[in-house]
Amino acid sequence: MNPEKVVFGFFIVLALTLNFGFFVGEMDNAAHHNVYELFAVIVVNIIALILKFGDRSQMGAVLLATSLVAVLQLITAALVWMWAGHISGSGLTPDAVASIVSLSGGAMLANVISVILLIIETVMLRR
């Protein structure tokens, strides 16, 4: 068993599961979406992104692209949360929460694609 592959797979799956945990709940209810969970999702996705930089294969390029998409959408979601919660005068409205959750849903889709590609790559390995 390759410990590097275990860590790589761990962070890819953890990114998906944390993102799913943040995404689940009423779309416009801020009480169902914890800001600390969003922070954890961003950190784990950035770690997964960094781990994908070493692979120079075509599959590695696609995995890196999915991570870039996920991180971009999650950082945008955090910026929307920061804007709505701290800068704008209206506060964290249901519309703002819906935008944040939608962006995290897009990131979750990118994470699903990463996990599917990881499974495909694992199945294609020859002993």
9-60: pLDDT as tens digits = 999 999 999 999 999 999 989 899 999 999 999 999 999 999 988 778 888 8
In whole angstroms, what is the distance from residue 2 CA to residue 22 CA?
31
Q: What is the pTM of this model?
A: 0.91
Q: What is the pLDDT of residue 88?
A: 87
**CA–CA dist 125, 13 (Å, integer):** 19
Confidence of residue 63 (pLDDT cuts 50, 70, 90): very high
- Candidates 59, 71, 77; CA nearest to 85 is 77
Closest to 107 measured CA to CA, from 61, 57, 48, 54 = 48
Q: Is 78 helix (H, G, I), strand (E, B) or coil?
A: helix
- Asked whether 53 and 62 are in contact (CB, 8 A), the reply is no
| Predicted pLDDT of residue 80 | 96
